[in-house]
Amino acid sequence: MTARPADCAGPGEELRRRIKSNGPVGFDEFMSVALYHPEGGYYASGTSRTGKHGDFVTSVSIGPVFGKLLAAQFSRMWKELGEPGDFTLVEQGANDGQLLDDILTAIDRNHPGFRPHAIIVEPLANRRTAQETLLRRWQGRTQWVADEKDLPRFTGVFFANELLDAFPVKLLVRTGGKWLERRVDCDADRFVFRETPLEHAEALEAAKKMPVDGDSRFCTEWSPSLAPWLETVADKLQRGWIFLVDYGHPRRARFHPARAEGTLAAYRKQQRAPDPLAAPGQQDLTAHVDFTTVAEEAEKCGLRIAGFTDQHHALAALAAITFPPMASSPLDAAAAKEMRALRQLLHPESMGTSFKFLALSKGIDAPLPAFRFASDAHRELFA
């Protein structure tokens, strides 16, 4: 596949320089530069926009009800741990800080006695500035670190909404009974894909678990960042949970023949862009999460799988403990708006089934309300 002409500054220039010096780069390197380059990366430069006027819609941009439901879940977790005074909420991938603001607002309004400390993991200066501005009323209850390695050891919940899908990925191709890697090269002023033998040892090991048989061509993605990231977070968590929300599939669904072209996608202005190599820094790059791989890596770190389900079932369960039974009288305007947002989050043909909830626990074995309507997590993840 051939892209449109590459841009001449920022991420594009940096990528061409690297390719000229060292040859084709892995797509994980291309993706990292395109998203996080300090002089024009999609996230680092502030290009990224959410909501109806942005590049993509998130559960947070729909309204505060998503944070309100998570607040109910986190309050139950606090109670399961014995209501400790040092309960900490850690968020990574916080965007502008709106989700944490929604959560803290709901906690203060609806969960008396629960007063968690909050930490945001944020490496990008422009994001941190936006977060500090939005969360200024929580000054004294919030702090920032630049990397998960900088976290103190804590008791509570580490949560992330749409973080893992932005982890840079290598592109793997199974064809003719062999695994190849799709790397990125330059052809004049264009970025193009080149397929080369897969030589990355960890990627080769991961490929052995991928249920791809025969000689049919199959493309997929694998993140070299996932395992070390999860190991660090698990080490920092003394007791509590890791709570992940993202779009993706268990392995059996991820490797369905319908996904033989992979799940890598580029998005711009609410539309899927045709070429992930075009205009690095000006479009979002993302790949669906393989939740089975996440669960396997979690168990290697001593974590327990505490629940897995789709967003429809998770939020329906949390709504049942958050909202009173519907009265026969009409809702007021605010309540009606909240219910419309909830229906959008639950809709099975939209976010309700594409997004998944995965909870991992350490030092605590307790049922979580979000998974009240869920099937057996191990069966869903490992069948």
- pLDDT tens readout for residues 333-375: 988 899 999 999 999 887 999 999 999 999 999 999 999 999 9
- Helical ranges in the chain per DSSP H: 11-22, 27-36, 65-80, 98-110, 125-134, 201-207, 226-236, 251-254, 291-300, 311-322, 333-346, 351-354, 377-382
Q: What is the pTM of this model?
A: 0.94
Using alpha carbons, select from 95, 109, 161, 127 the residue that is nearest to residue 338.
Answer: 109
Q: Which two tokens stand for residue 150?
A: 């900088």
Q: Tens digit of pLDDT for each residue in 94-129?
A: 999 999 999 999 999 999 999 999 999 999 999 999
> Residue 47: CA atoms inside 13 Å, Cβ hemisphere, count?
24
Per-residue pLDDT band at 331 (split at 50, 70, 90)? confident
Asked if 174 and 106 count as a contact pair (C-beta separation under 8 A), the reply is: no
Q: Which residues of 156-176 are buried (b: 16+ CB within 10 A; e: fewer)?
A: bbbbbbbbbbbbbbbbbbbee
pLDDT over threshold 70, residue 47 = no
As a whole number, mean pLDDT of residues 173-188 equals 96
More confident call, 50 vs 383: 383
Contact partners, residue 271, CB within 8 Å, separation at least 6: none
Nearest to 351 by CA among 320, 312, 319, 377: 312
Check whether 87 has a pLDDT greater than 50.
yes
Query: What six digits make up the tokens of 277?
Result: 């190599």
For the chain, domains (ranges, CATH) are: 65-146+155-164+289-382 (3.40.50.12710)
Ranges 150-164, 267-281, 302-316: which has the least confidence? 267-281
Tokens of 331: 């809702």
The amino acid at residue 25 is V
Is the confidence at residue 44, as pLDDT, over 90? no
Residue 268 C-beta-side C-alpha neighbours within 13 Å: 14
Average pLDDT over residues 61-82: 98
